[in-house]
Amino acid sequence: MSKAPEALWRAVIEYDGTDYYGFQVQESVPTVQGTVEGVLEKLSGGHVRIAGAGRTDAGVHASGQVISFSLGWRKSAEELQKAMNALLPEDIVVLVLELAPPGFHPRFSAVSRSYEYRILNTRLRSPLLARYSAHVSEPLDVESMQSAAEVVIGRHDFRSFGQPPQGDNSVRTVYEAHWEKSGKFLVFRIKADAFLRKMVRRMVGTFVEVGLGVRKPDGMAELVREPNPALAAPPAPPQGLRLVKVEYPPELEFSSVGKEE
């Protein structure tokens, strides 16, 4: 039987990034991309390269990472999703899988990405929550942190907080940025057209200094107005960060086909 013609597929995947050296494939270490590619190669019998919407760092999680890949597959999208999930490790799952529209690219077609960062703000750490949140034992002033967060909304040069993945353009547009208290957690949510490397984690690290009273809220405005990476805080720990959602133009948005309930 002749091989099935290749088609472009796209998927939404969720993963626990604890045991991976980030999303992007690297030699000799486990990565999310490398693990998914290995599964697709078992199913196809040949090399398959996937593209991702974002290159999450080592230890960072995702509930809405988007990938695409070319694959010859004669059966349904539902059967491909089941086959992939049967072979993937427990810390990666395919939530949605469908044929991609012409010209789709998970990164270049995206119009926004949303991240969430969770801080367990309690006196004692929690071993049961440590994989998915950062712990800060001192009380944090969430109102001051929110005042600082409002400063980053808009189109700015965010060179203080990260490096571009390619080239030297560090200007990005932040659509939403806010802190809220949720039980024992402080949760930061941010949505932008794109992000620099470690941008969210360095922002969070700086916001925490504001919340501790080490840095004034208006100090964030200075970092945005006059970018200086040396003056921003070190990155917050990776385990508190999660890529939540990638959005596309209406004509390229995902359908609900194959979505796990």
Q: How many CB atoms lie within 10 A of CB 52?
A: 22
Cα angle value 10/14/15 (rounded, 5°) = 125
Only one residue has tokens 């694959």, namely: 71
> Cα–Cα distances in Å, from 82 out to 22, 32, 79, 170, 253?
24, 18, 5, 40, 22
Region 19-38: mean pLDDT is 95
- Do 26 and 64 share a structural domain? yes
Identify the domain containing residue 25 by its residue range: 6-108
Residue 210 has pLDDT above 90, yes or no: yes
The DSSP secondary-structure symbol of 69 reads: E
Distance CA 92, CA 107 (A): 20
| Higher-scoring residue by pLDDT: 212, 27 | 212
Active-site annotation holder among 16, 57, 141, 218:
57
- Do 194 and 97 share a structural domain? no
* Residue that finishes a domain, picked among 74, 108, 142: 108
* Residue that finishes a domain, picked among 82, 108, 134: 108
Only one residue has tokens 């409002």, namely: 150
- Do 104 and 144 share a structural domain? no
Told to judge if 57 belongs to the known catalytic residues of this protein, a careful annotator would answer yes
Burial of 82 (0-12, 13-18, 19+ CB in 10 A): middle
What pTM was estimated for this model as a whole? Answer: 0.93
- Do 221 and 149 share a structural domain? yes
Q: What CATH number does the domain containing 205 carry?
A: 3.30.70.660
Transcribe 93-148 into DSSP letters.
Answer: EEEEEEEPPTT--TTTT-SEEEEEEEEE-SSS--TTTTTS-EE--S---HHHHHHH
- The model's confidence at residue 256, banded by pLDDT at 50, 70 and 90, is low
Residue 237 has pLDDT above 80, yes or no: yes
- Do 132 and 93 share a structural domain? no
**Is residue 65 in a domain?**
yes
**Is residue 255 in a domain?**
no
Distance CA 68, CA 149 (A): 33
Percent of the chain with pLDDT over 70: 96
Burial of 124 (0-12, 13-18, 19+ CB in 10 A): exposed
